[in-house]
Amino acid sequence: MLKEFLKDELLEVMEKAKKGICSREFENVVIVHHNDADGLCAGAILYKTFSELGMKTKTICIEKVHPAIVEKIHENRKDALFIYTDLAGLVGDVIAEIDGGRNLILILDHHPAKNVEKENILVVAPELLGVSGDVFVSASTLAYLFCRNVADVKETASLAVIGSVGDYHDRSGGILGYDRVALQDAIESGEAKIKIEGSRERYFIKSFNEYADVIADYLTTLGSIGYYTMDYKLGIKACLEGFDDKAMQRVEELKRIKEEKFKNKIKELIAGELRKEKFVQWFHVGRDFMPMGVKVIGLFCHLIKDMSFVDESKFVAGFQDFHPELPEIGKIPWQGVKVSFRAPAPLERKVLSGEVPGLDVTLPWATERVKGVADATHRIAAASLIDKGKEEEFIKTWEEIMEKLMLKRGK
Ligand SMILES: [Mn+2]
């Protein structure tokens, strides 16, 4: 147990997980991580730690957890340690069930989570202990603290800082809570320096010769924009060895690809591809955004929501095909689409004042009706995964729910 955390509940849970791992023998460790900066940093920290402990370690980068993906990842594997990080908090039971006890599963996630009481799974999730994973602890910090308790890995503290900044944990001016413990370690080892700019802290990372926010942006570009071209591999490599010319060149290329694709799509939408309902205007990009991952549909909706061709009294919704041929994983038997919702600024104000129901209510509701999975839900921004072919039914269902809730409000 680390001295600054004496009697800390999260550390106690980590200690228990460590004991759970140590009680079994593994040759192979499989790290399943998310594809944004936080997920990449967490993956890199775990990769470095477990390979230095002498284990055969492999990383698998995914955008979303879906039973079909988990099945594919776990098939033909036994007696391995699977670590899921920056994702899977809510679906530990599904993963444990699919695995069927062949392997040991460890979940290190800072998102909302569910505890699972099963022999083959250990869940370390601050949200289960009342610690906000959205504010005080990123997945990279969680991975760092876990690894620090297992081996001597202080040099990865700066990756935890980059991951925390990648998830905007510095939004109040600086990173807080557990994230700050990692920052402290990085400062003590001379790896990081705080620079105060106005009312905000920035973290300069010595080995990258760059600020954490800039590095995080590069990593998210490699992992999310370059998901289907496997550029997350360059991202993991950059986390461990720094950015070489090749990685930097790729970051620039990917940014250009994104801008180009976004520009073309905006032209098409202006030319009349936007469908208008009573409460939402929507469009479907199909596979036009390939090779970019499905995270970009949210970025795109966010980009256009206040443009002049958008009706500011209606929500904006975009669908993007989830390409079922995953890099390094292969074809999965599931055809899905991601849908992202955003609110133009005037509508955003109405949602925040309570005049219009929030997406945190309407989107999960409609998603459940078409048997989809809510992905991320906030009042003015939300996303879900649904089966392909159900897009029209989903929009119709969502409109009905809105109609009902607006009637209740007397609008
Ligand atoms: Mn995260």
Q: Ligand 1 center to residue 404 CA distance, Å?
A: 35
Report, as an integer, the average pLDDT of 324-337: 93
Q: Ligand 1 center to residue 400 CA distance, Å?
A: 33
Coil, helix or strand at residue 103? coil
Residues, Cβ < 5 Å to ion ligand 1: 38, 86, 139, 167
CATH no., domain 274-408 = 3.10.310.40
pLDDT, tens digit, 9 for 90 and up, residues 125-168: 999 999 999 899 999 999 999 999 888 888 899 999 999 999 99
Q: Specify burial of residue 178 (Cβ count, 10 A radius: 0-12, 13-18, 19+).
A: buried
> Which carries the bigger pLDDT value, residue 244 or residue 377?
244
pLDDT band at 105 (very low <50, low <70, confident <90, very high): very high
Q: Ligand 1 center to residue 110 CA distance, Å?
A: 7
Report, as an integer, the average pLDDT of 72-93: 94
Q: Where are the domains of the chain?
A: 3-214, 274-408
pLDDT, tens digit, 9 for 90 and up, residues 167-176: 999 999 999 9
Helix (H) or strand (E) holding 85: strand 80-85
The rounded percent of the chain whose pLDDT value lies above 70 is: 98
pLDDT at 233: 97
What's the number of CA atoms in the CB half-sphere (13 Å) around residue 154?
11
pLDDT, tens digit, 9 for 90 and up, residues 285-328: 999 999 999 999 999 999 999 999 999 999 999 999 999 999 99
Q: Ligand 1 center to residue 165 CA distance, Å?
A: 10
Q: Ligand 1 center to residue 322 CA distance, Å?
A: 21
Strand locations in 255-368, DSSP E?
275-276, 280-284, 315-322, 325-326, 330-331, 336-342
Q: Sign of torsion, CA 386 391 393 395?
A: positive
On whether the CB atoms of residues 398 and 362 are closer than 8 A, the answer is: yes
Helix (H) or strand (E) holding 19: helix 9-22
Q: Sign of torsion, CA 127 130 136 140?
A: negative
Spatial CB neighbours of 39, under 8 Å, sequence gap ≥ 6: 33, 61, 85, 86, 87, 139, 163, 223
pLDDT at 216: 97
State the maximum Cα–Cα separation within the chain, in Å, rounded to a whole number. Answer: 65
Chain position carrying tokens 């202006």: 270
User: Do β-strands 80-85 and 28-33 pair in parallel, antiparallel, or remain unpaired?
Assistant: parallel
Q: State yes or no: pLDDT of 393 exceeds 90.
A: yes
CATH no., domain 3-214 = 3.90.1640.30
Q: Ligand 1 center to residue 40 CA distance, Å?
A: 9
pLDDT band at 7 (very low <50, low <70, confident <90, very high): low
The rounded percent of the chain whose pLDDT value lies above 90 is: 89
Note the residue count of the chain.
Answer: 411
Q: Exposed e or buried b for every residue in 201-217, given b needs 16+ CB within 10 A? A: bbbbbeebeebbbebbb
Q: Ligand 1 center to residue 266 CA distance, Å?
A: 29
Report, as an integer, the average pLDDT of 114-127: 94
- Between CA 95 and CA 295 the distance in angstroms is 23
* Partner residues linked to 29 by β-bridges: 57, 81
- Between CA 221 and CA 249 the distance in angstroms is 12
Q: Ligand 1 center to residue 410 CA distance, Å?
A: 39
Spatial CB neighbours of 408, under 8 Å, sequence gap ≥ 6: none
pLDDT at 166: 96
Q: Ligand 1 center to residue 336 CA distance, Å?
A: 23
Q: Ligand 1 center to residue 187 CA distance, Å?
A: 22
On whether the CB atoms of residues 311 and 275 are closer than 8 A, the answer is: no
On whether the CB atoms of residues 11 and 145 are closer than 8 A, the answer is: yes
pLDDT at 49: 96
pLDDT band at 75 (very low <50, low <70, confident <90, very high): very high
Q: In Å, how far are 14, 25, 339, 345 from 114, measured between CA atoms? A: 16, 26, 24, 34
pLDDT, tens digit, 9 for 90 and up, residues 370-387: 999 887 788 899 999 999
pLDDT at 4: 65
Q: Ligand 1 center to residue 350 CA distance, Å?
A: 29
Residue among 140, 235, 224 nearest 178 (CA): 140
Residue among 13, 14, 52, 46 nearest 30 (CA): 46
Q: Ligand 1 center to residue 252 CA distance, Å?
A: 24
**Mean pLDDT for the chain overall:** 94
- Between CA 241 and CA 111 the distance in angstroms is 28
Q: Ligand 1 center to residue 141 CA distance, Å?
A: 10
Residue 366 dihedral angles phi and psi, to the nearest 5°: -65, -35
pLDDT, tens digit, 9 for 90 and up, residues 85-100: 999 998 999 999 999 9
Q: Ligand 1 center to residue 167 CA distance, Å?
A: 6
pLDDT at 261: 97
pLDDT at 1: 47
